[in-house]
Amino acid sequence: MANCALVGCGLLGGESSDKTANWSAQKLYSEAEDEMSAGGYTQAIKYFEQLQSRYPFGRYAQQAQMEVAYAQWKDGEKDLSLAAADRFLKTYPNSPNADYVWYLKGLVNFNDNLGLLGSLAQQDLTERDPKALRDAFDAFRELVTRFPDSKYTPDAVIRLKYLVNAMAAHEVHVARYYLRRGAYVAAANRAEIVIKQYQQAPAVRDALQVMVAAYDGLSMGQLRDDAKRVLDSNFPVGQDAVVEKSPWWKLW
């Protein structure tokens, strides 16, 4: 009898009880949204995950999985957020919210300190993670290509323009590194990547300057002069200041 009483006590309540045990899917979702609004992302994630576990086929399950990706990003869990976004796109490839999830994937990899209102004045593009830049570019490009009429596409286009120059600037940074160390062939090769792959980026000017210096270091006069001719033709004296002062959202 005593054992039954103890068991009964455990069933009736105590610290191990789950207050959400009898919550409906709508209640779990509502509570999770309230936590999100208050900045309680960790608790929101728990509620969303409970919702998906208990009501995997309900109408709230799809929304909850998408919200988990956002909440994990805001909670500082970049990898978990990307994994959740990928799961959503795999599980619901034809979801009307797929455009948002592609946009979210781009944002997770995009340094949000350099958003639409950000300034490049104190930022060094070349020191950012090139893989994150590429991943952000790929996600935004997927959004723009597959969902041209999405409400997220205009912002994605702006960010794509920024990312193109950021990736080009990174290559120039590497080329200059080689140039300073006398690795002229490597410097010229990295500069050539910028000129071929990022033809409209402002960093092309810097790549041509590196190429001129690299060929000069290699005593390859003809190639140096050719690069100098292209540089002078496309970036006349006096244009540098104009390019550098242009805001990043008006790269070209």
Of 192, 205, 191, nearest to 246 by C-alpha is 205
Burial (Cβ within 10 Å: 0-12, 13-18, ≥19) of residue 175: buried
d(C-alpha 116, C-alpha 18), whole Å: 43
Q: Give the pLDDT band of residue 122 (cuts 50, 70, 90).
A: very low
Residue 45 predicted with pLDDT over 90: yes
What does DSSP assign to residue 250? G
Domain boundaries, the chain: 27-77
Q: What's the mean pLDDT in 200-211? A: 92
Per-residue model confidence (pLDDT) at position 66 = 93
pTM: 0.74
- Cα(225)–Cα(249) distance, integer angstroms: 33
Separation CA 37–CA 171 (nearest Å):
40
